[in-house]
A and B are shown apart, each in its own frame.
Chain A
Amino acid sequence: MTNPERRTLEPWQDPKAAPYVRIDHVTKKFDDVYAVDDVSLDIFQGEFFSLLGSSGCGKSTLLRMLAGLERPTTGRIYIDGADVTDLPAYSRPVNMMFQSYALFPHMTVEQNVEFGLKQDRMPRKERAERVGEMLGLLQIGELRKRKPDQLSGGQRQRAALARTLAKHPKLLLLDEPLGALDKRLRESAQFELVNLQERLGITFVTVTHDQEEAMTMSTRIAVMNAGQILQVDTPTTIYEYPEYRFVADFIGLVNLFDGRVAEIQDDRVLVETQLGRRLHMRCSHPHAIGTPVTVAIRPEKLQICQTYREDGVNQVKGVVEDIAYLGDVSIYRVRVSPELLVEMTLTNIQPRTEQALTWGQEVAMEWSPTSGVVLTE
């Protein structure tokens, strides 16, 4: 944490760094519904920040408030130190890429890109240069005379991106930027978007419901649910050390065991669960005996246990019920008790046909006390 290089890469670790965007106790009510409920958030210069959540969690409303398309019911929004809460969209130093791209259908790609520059009364010559620069940057120079309905989905996304980048905004908002692309295109577009962001040094704030997309692109992720931000962290921390049951469940696959704290041994907590045995977990927070908790373990943290013992640490036995073969890995769903299935992911080192584990087979599994988390909420 004291490493200065890390501080520049992770400005949120630096207590002296000033946030570029500060969202201060913002609430947005539509009639009686809280779309965004008392959210505070700092986003730093040069970040690729993702708001992640399922539909209706308030992530898009938060983004629209940053753009100036919605006005917060209460709370303030600061961009680059200035209070922009009451500033209309057209005078904010922010540009947004819409989920539908919102390209003007009666204008060519070139005219679309030029639109924002014209609003700034940029001289014609400079304008033409900037348009050329943007079309080149996104490699859509040959499409400049086309209308949006003559473009493919991927080309439209590039045109929309060129239009939002044309004004050289300091902050770019992206509402589901890859949502309308098919899976293959999405993967390459993810990398391209990150490269673009790094090259231009613009702060990106994106909204997405796709956890994979958020994981690969972001410097930090804010997981939202029911109008509130649950956790803000780097993708790794969010995945490995979720703080809430919702976060653990929303991102990736996870096995959740409900139980109660039975015993504390040094930095370990022993949890009595419905598995019928105590799970040993490392835990940084002290818990009172009897507190209801949930133990969360990712399926890939489970291993096949070679030396199963009835009193072994974090060992369970069950019968393989389902196998999902994904090529690189297989997910095994193992029934450990009549009402409990445990998921285990194993890398397919051997070809599928030569694997030992098959349906109906009994298997013992184990995991290390350090490879999961104990959640209280």
Chain B
Amino acid sequence: MVFMTKHHLHDRHLSRALNIGTPYLWLGLFFLLPFAIVLHISMAETALAQPPYTDLMSWVDDGVLQIKLNLQNFVTVFTDELYLAAFLNSLWIALVCTVLCLLIGYPMAYAIATSPERRRVILLMLIILPFWTSFLIRVYAWIGILKPNGLLNNFLMWLGLIHEPLTILHTQTAIYIGVVYSYLPFMILPLFANLTRLDFSLLEAAADLGCRPFKAFLKVTLPLSLPGIVAGSMLVFIPVVGEFVIPDLLGGPDSLMIGKMLWTEFFGNKDWPLAAALAICLLGLLVVPFVFMQRLESRMGGDEL
């Protein structure tokens, strides 16, 4: 009996360790380890070698290990106005697009959440449907729509609204359009998940207490859907800051984005250490809003999410 109990206890410890250990192992293997490698590269120097950077550690004399940490790449990132401008522009684009997604996505999520059950499934399918086509193809399709003799310009000219084509493609506007289009579902889905759980008798109670519908929305619906707004905004903001496909395909030469810069440094200039330093800084930049939102959420009772 004693043996059994001991054995049992051992089993429980093991399963608990496995339960807690698995996600840590996963994070360690697929996040922490790559991060360490990138951090390592960011402090190396470029070299004509395979891979194209120097080792941090080398044996100089017998028994002397030399570690060379090159912080020049970080200095470059912080002092070169080009990178600074790219960072700021990325943040700006992400901010504008998050706000636009929220303004467009909120009414859509609300409409889906309040529609009858059977129509709701169809509407949700329509939101998810674009994911069935490759992201790249959908962004390419926007070139066809936005180019000077593309669908949009032809349509507007046919309507007689404009007489010569608008230049949209290869401008910041095209990036906004492409990003908002691509990331809208990531805003709608968490908002929808939040709004379907809204107890609509609360709005009736507000009306009963003399509150007009719009004010009831501001006082009841909006505060209660804040966790959904936070989740949706994070899902849009964070990937958009590092977005590189959309600015590459739709953006112009003036629209600097950090993701695109990183790509150029890595593949174009073969400057892996600088690209790695950029990546580290980008990560640092994104941790700030994440921590901030996490704080906000826990203060509001984050169990809602």
Binding site for B on A (CB under 8 A): 67-69, 88-91, 94-96, 98, 100, 102-106, 115-116, 119-120, 163-164, 167
The reply to whether B207 and A90 contact each other, CB–CB distance below 8 Å, is: yes
The reply to whether A102 and B199 contact each other, CB–CB distance below 8 Å, is: yes
The reply to whether B201 and A98 contact each other, CB–CB distance below 8 Å, is: yes
Interface SS majority for chain B: helix
The CA of A89 and the CA of B215, in the complex, are separated in Å by: 14
Give B195 Cβ to nearest chain A Cβ, in Å. 15
The reply to whether B211 and A102 contact each other, CB–CB distance below 8 Å, is: no
The reply to whether B210 and A119 contact each other, CB–CB distance below 8 Å, is: yes
**Chain A contacts of B219 at CB under 8 A?**
115
The reply to whether A119 and B209 contact each other, CB–CB distance below 8 Å, is: yes
With contacts defined as CB atoms under 8 Å apart, how many contacts are there between chain A and chain B in the complex? 57
A-B contact pairs, 13 of them (CB 8 A): A67-B208, A68-B207, A68-B208, A95-B208, A98-B205, A102-B204, A105-B224, A106-B223, A106-B224, A115-B206, A115-B209, A116-B210, A167-B209
The CA of A88 and the CA of B212, in the complex, are separated in Å by: 9
Does any Cβ of A come within 8 Å of B33's Cβ? Answer: no
Does any Cβ of A come within 8 Å of B202's Cβ? Answer: yes
Supposing A102-B199, A106-B223 touch, asked if A69 and B204 sit within 8 A by C-beta, the answer is yes
Supposing A69-B207, A115-B206 touch, asked if A104 and B220 sit within 8 A by C-beta, the answer is yes
**Chain B contacts of A88 at CB under 8 A?**
207
Give A240 Cβ to nearest chain B Cβ, in Å. 37
Closest 3 CB pairs of A and B: A116-B209, A119-B210, A102-B205
**Chain A contacts of B215 at CB under 8 A?**
119
The CA of A102 and the CA of B199, in the complex, are separated in Å by: 8
Our pick among A90, A102, A119 for the contact of B202 (Cβ within 8 Å) is: A102
Closest A residue, CB atoms, query B213: A90
**Chain B contacts of A90 at CB under 8 A?**
207-213
The CA of A94 and the CA of B205, in the complex, are separated in Å by: 12
The reply to whether A89 and B212 contact each other, CB–CB distance below 8 Å, is: no
List residues 202-249 of chain B with CB under 8 A from any CB of chain A: 202, 204-213, 215, 219-220, 223-224
The reply to whether B202 and A104 contact each other, CB–CB distance below 8 Å, is: yes
Interface size for B (C-beta < 8 A) is 18
The CA of A116 and the CA of B213, in the complex, are separated in Å by: 14
Give B129 Cβ to nearest chain A Cβ, in Å. 31
Closest B residue, CB atoms, query A121: B210
The reply to whether B209 and A95 contact each other, CB–CB distance below 8 Å, is: yes
Supposing A105-B224, A106-B223, A106-B224 touch, asked if A120 and B204 sit within 8 A by C-beta, the answer is no
Give B193 Cβ to nearest chain A Cβ, in Å. 17
**Chain B contacts of A115 at CB under 8 A?**
206, 209, 211, 219
Closest A residue, CB atoms, query B226: A106
**Most chain B CB inside 10 Å of its own CB: which residue of A90, A94, A96:** A90
Supposing A106-B223, A106-B224 touch, asked if A89 and B202 sit within 8 A by C-beta, the answer is no
**Most chain A CB inside 10 Å of its own CB: which residue of B201, B215, B223, B224:** B201
The reply to whether A120 and B210 contact each other, CB–CB distance below 8 Å, is: yes
The reply to whether B204 and A167 contact each other, CB–CB distance below 8 Å, is: no
The CA of A113 and the CA of B210, in the complex, are separated in Å by: 13
Supposing A105-B224, A106-B223, A106-B224 touch, asked if A100 and B208 sit within 8 A by C-beta, the answer is no
**Chain A contacts of B205 at CB under 8 A?**
96, 98, 102-104
**Chain B contacts of A98 at CB under 8 A?**
201, 204-205
The reply to whether A102 and B210 contact each other, CB–CB distance below 8 Å, is: no
Give A122 Cβ to nearest chain B Cβ, in Å. 11
List residues 147-206 of chain B with CB under 8 A from any CB of chain A: 199, 201-202, 204-206
**Chain A contacts of B204 at CB under 8 A?**
69, 89, 98, 102
Closest B residue, CB atoms, query A96: B208
**Chain B contacts of A105 at CB under 8 A?**
202, 224
The reply to whether B210 and A91 contact each other, CB–CB distance below 8 Å, is: yes
Supposing A102-B199, A102-B201 touch, asked if A89 and B208 sit within 8 A by C-beta, the answer is yes
Our pick among A100, A116, A119, A164 for the contact of B199 (Cβ within 8 Å) is: A100
The CA of A163 and the CA of B209, in the complex, are separated in Å by: 9
**Chain B contacts of A167 at CB under 8 A?**
209-210
The CA of A90 and the CA of B212, in the complex, are separated in Å by: 6
**Most chain B CB inside 10 Å of its own CB: which residue of A88, A89, A100, A120:** A89
